[in-house]
Structure 1
């Protein structure tokens, strides 16, 4: 299948690598920064303004928004909503997916990720390198689970939340929407919406 990526930052390099490992064709990248001309030998085709032309030229292409920041990724998807793009899924071949795992469109699963049985991953979510998502978790849309994060079983993560690198969440907890868990934190209690929490145990330091 043909893929067109939106965003030419470092995240796009990883997505290109994943797609090539799946023998998918990356046609090119669109990015609104005119200074960029290629990423990992993949051409920058133009700004997002040319996407209607790309839809005509590559009618069967899938798109992935390659932006690590959740809110920015969400804004791009919302802005492009009238174009009714087809969003693909990139899953690295080293990732391990249990039975009855659901991964929705636009999401990316990076190398050495483990997602265990009966887990749901929402749209446009990033499961970054070597994170583990255990059984029956529910991860919302536009979430970023950073490298080395461990979610125990039955954890729920609300949309637009970010779990920082190396953090751990014990079983059965809920992390609300639009919240941030700091790097290396240990979450042992529920975290409400719009909260920044850090430490071990993780404690609220401010509201968003």
Structure 2
């Protein structure tokens, strides 16, 4: 009689185990179904959206400064042309202490009092998220020294820039004119004229003479 009771108890335990196993199986099936549906939603239905977000994270659009045209006279004599040189630029809002950073940079490359005054003037006229030159026309040796210490200066970059040169000097300066950095008043004027977008990536415009008339 005890054997019969034990068999029935074993059968009940087995049935109970099977029910639990079935419930667990259903739970696992539902879980995997939900995961599959989520995967389907993300990879198929939302693929375009997340692909766009991924591209936005790895791709940034930066304006490229246009090259100013070469100016020659009717005999082909060069009056104005471009040459490339490196500048050392600081983005103020990426630097904790501007003065301390400039002092540390001065131990690596030459930064004169005039460079400092010009930088402060540009800082007063510009937005803090714009990169501003603290030194222009760096030598290859100075670029190499800065590259070694680059990791110490977040917010400071060496950039290749185009500079304007006038081979004839002052001889034709009143006709050729000159270029200069865009100031805040000119930014507002360009914005009012709807031409500001044409100057994205460029910091300079013609101020006088042919340089101005060819803008």
TM value normalised by structure 2: 0.27
Larger fraction in strand: 1
TM value normalised by structure 1: 0.27
RCO (CA 8 Å, sep 6+): is it higher in 1 or 2? 2
Larger fraction in helix: 2
